[in-house]
Amino acid sequence: MSALLCRVSRLRLQPSVRLSSFIYSLKFDLTHVPSRKTLLVNRKCFSSYKIAIVGSGPAGCYSAKYLKSSLDKQQHRAQIDVIERLPTPFGLVRYGVAPDHPEVKNVQNDFAALFEGTDESMETVNVRFLGNVKVGWDVTVTELRSIYDVVLLAYGCESDRRLILPGSHLPQILSAREFVAWYNGHPDFVHVGEQVSKALQVTAADTVESVRNAHVVVIGHGNVALDCARILAKGGQNLHDTDIASHTFPVIGGGISRISVIGRRGPIQGAFTIKEIRELVRLQREGYGTSFRVSPQELKAGMNESSLQEMEGLAGRPKQRICDLLQKAAASASETSECEKRVDLRFFLKPLRFETKEDDPSRLSAVICEKTALRGEPGRQKAIGTGEYESLYADLVLVSIGYKGTALRGVEPFFDEEIGIVRNRNGKVDHSNDFECGLYVAGWLKRGPSGIIGTNIPDAKDTVASIMQDLQVTKPRVQRAGDIDSILAERKIQVVVWEDYKRLDDYEQTHKRSDNQPREKVVSIKLQLEAALKFY
């Protein structure tokens, strides 16, 4: 009983609502206390828009931010529910950004401010975090559209572009997305560690400091590929003071001895940005015992006529600077000594098949590539095979050729299966009268998996502009099929609200392996829920 009283007293409710919800709560069996969210009642604002945003990553949070400010400016009352599958918010900011890029994660504070709120009764627009709610399972998109005025899909890309080649089924070939999720402690990818460990043939003799004598080939020329290479090169111990998941230490140890990053086209076509290249170039000078190599011949091949044109003007400035950096790195290679570990950035290599060991067909031995050359107009160059081949020894392959979106149930009619995005016009997906609820999209699910966190700013503004335009002619609906809190309570879903997440956040920041790390991530959903929903 006292636990229940404590629970009720901690709720931020209007006094009249607090009493009625306390009485309401007594109807329940006290040994099975319902989700706290059943006791938190939406303010009874009959002229209030109800908006659901599916996904709490940068797309969802920037959308919530700009929707809130637009609605505030026009003095509309609204409730914005940001619904997240995991108990933790912020999507790839938490599970994608590399552990050695902590300042990039500062944006979390901006997003957190949305959910903190001040005095709810003063807010015309209230933003709530509803974590541990799986849209598509716990509640469907169709159901959301029957209870909200606006549903905005911002759940990003949870799958991969596939590289289907002979041998690509081998267990030593992994998706880079899964590898990144693993080293960032994503609860759904803890199993990846064992796969990596087996591929690298880590034994009991390998310590958390020793370098793994293995070859890793990363296929792809984006920042995800470079992040993988850099984390593999640095190894676990050098990242001890970051929020990298502890389970990486026995696997990647002191780093991997040989890492090759390969791609079909040249340096100017690479999707990576200069900061990530510079970090690889600087690894040796910064004491990570890793040399960086790039081939002068491959750089020269990358300077064909069309590529030179791609480097022209202000739009070509980023490419020009990358080329200058790589030329310098190639030129100074002879001055830098060889280290125990090495990263090779390779160009003009197109993987054809994966070869297995002669004595063990279940083990990868090499990636067979065809050398390519560029053909085509600037901006549209293709990599054409030259008939020359190269075999790259490999124990582990990470395929990093792009994330890909998937369709939740109810979204299939609007989904482009080939590209993996939801078809839209300025973020507007469907506004048919069947639902009385507009469907919108923002982020990678809208434009494809490219760009950085900041790219979601103009993206979200674009979608919000579409929503606001539609809301000018739409009043909050009178008929709703229910409300999200009741539906989730009926289904016994353990919703993680913002205060619950703060408890988990606090736990991660106070149970650290090192004073200098920002947090020690809890890597199981069960333990996250325990830390979040625990009552002191």
Partner 1 sequence: MHRSLQRGVLVASRRSRRALGGVRWHGGPKVPNDAPTITVTFLQPDKTRKEVQARVGESLLQTAHRNEIDLEGACEGVCACSTCHLIMPQDLYDILPDPSEDEEDMLDMAFGLTDTSRLGCQVIVTKDMEGTEFKMPAATRNFYVDGHKPKPH
Identify the CA nearest to 424 among candidates 414, 433, 434.
414
Residue 506 CB, shortest distance to partner 1, in Å, is 6
CA distance 256 to 535: 43
For partner 1, the binding residue among 351, 427, 438, 476 (CB under 8 A) is: 427
Out of 286, 458, 486, 526, which residue is the one contacting partner 1 (CB under 8 A)?
458
On whether the CB atoms of residues 400 and 382 are closer than 8 A, the answer is no
Binder among 9, 20, 74, 509 for partner 1 (CB under 8 A): 509
Smallest gap from residue 212 Cβ to partner 1 (A): 30
Neighbouring residues of 478: CB distance < 8 A, sequence distance ≥ 6: none
With contact defined as beta carbons under 8 Å apart, do 151 and 339 qualify?
Answer: no
Applying CB under 8 A, among 123, 390, 462, 483 the residue interacting with partner 1 is 462
The binding site for NADP(+) consists of 221-224, 264-265, 276, 451
Please state the closest distance from residue 124 (CB atom) to partner 1, in A.
17
Buried residues in 177-199 as b, exposed as e (16+ CB within 10 A): bbbbbbbbbbbebeebbebbbeb
What's the one-letter identity of residue 319? K
Choose the binding region for partner 1 from 227-235, 286-294, 421-429, 487-495 (rule: CB under 8 A). 421-429
Which residue of 136, 378, 448, 518 would you call a contact of partner 1, by CB under 8 A?
448
C-beta separation of 255 from 212 below 8 A:
yes
d(CA 527, CA 485): 24
DSSP letter assigned to residue 412: G
Interface characters, 352-391, with partner 1 (x: CB under 8 A): ---------------------------xx-xx--------
Complex with partner 1: residue 250 or 448, whichever CB lies closer = 448
| 201 sits in which H/E element | none
Of 46-54, 142-150, 444-452, 522-530, the segment contacting partner 1 by CB under 8 A is 444-452
For partner 1, the closer CB: 117 or 250: 117
x/- letters, 293..322, toward partner 1 (CB under 8 A): ---------------------x--xx--x-
Q: CB-wise, 250 or 385, nearer to partner 1?
A: 385
The amino acid present at 356, given as its one-letter code, is T
CA–CA distance, 302 with 268 (Å, rounded to integer): 7
Residues 110-139 that bind partner 1 (CB under 8 A): 110, 112-113, 116, 118
Contacts by 195-200, CB closer than 8 A, 24 or more apart: 195/171, 196/251, 196/252, 196/396, 197/250, 197/251, 198/171, 198/172, 199/171, 199/172, 199/174, 199/364, 199/395, 199/396, 200/251, 200/252, 200/256, 200/395, 200/396
11 forms part of the interface with partner 1 (CB under 8 A): no
CB of 374 to partner 1, least distance (A): 11
| Residues contributing to the annotated binding site | 59, 84, 92, 135, 221-224, 264-265, 276, 444, 451-453
Least Cβ distance, residue 136 to partner 1 (angstroms) = 23
> Among 71-79, 145-153, 452-460, 522-530, which window interacts with partner 1 (CB under 8 A)?
452-460
Residue of the chain from 234, 447, 519, 521 that contacts partner 1 (CB under 8 A): 447
DSSP 3-state of 471: helix
How many CB atoms within 10 Å of residue 146? 17
Distances (CA, A) of 73 to 67, 69, 124, 148: 10, 6, 10, 21
Applying CB under 8 A, which of residues 454, 482, 511, 534 lies at the interface with partner 1?
454
- Which of residues 43, 101, 198, 477 is near partner 1 by CB under 8 A? 101
516 binds partner 1 (CB under 8 A): no
Residues of this chain, 263-282, that bind partner 1 according to CB under 8 A: 264-265, 273-275, 278
Which residue type, as a one-letter code, is found at position 446?
K
- Counting contacts by CB under 8 A, is residue 421 touching partner 1? yes
Output the smallest distance, CB 315 to partner 1, in A.
8
CB-facing half-sphere around the CA of 368: CA atoms within 13 A: 13
8 A C-beta contact, residue 133 and residue 85: yes
Question: Smallest distance, Å, CB 69 to partner 1?
Answer: 8
Structural tokens at position 294 = 């790039």
Q: CA triplet 533, 535, 536: central angle to 5 degrees?
A: 145
Work out which of 230, 258, 446, 519 binds partner 1, going by CB under 8 A: 446
* Residue matched to tokens 């400016």: 73
Site of interaction with partner 1 (CB under 8 A): 101, 103-104, 106-107, 109-110, 112-113, 116, 118, 264-265, 273-275, 278, 314, 317-318, 321, 379-380, 382-383, 416, 419, 421, 423-427, 446-448, 452-455, 457-459, 461-462, 502, 506, 509-510
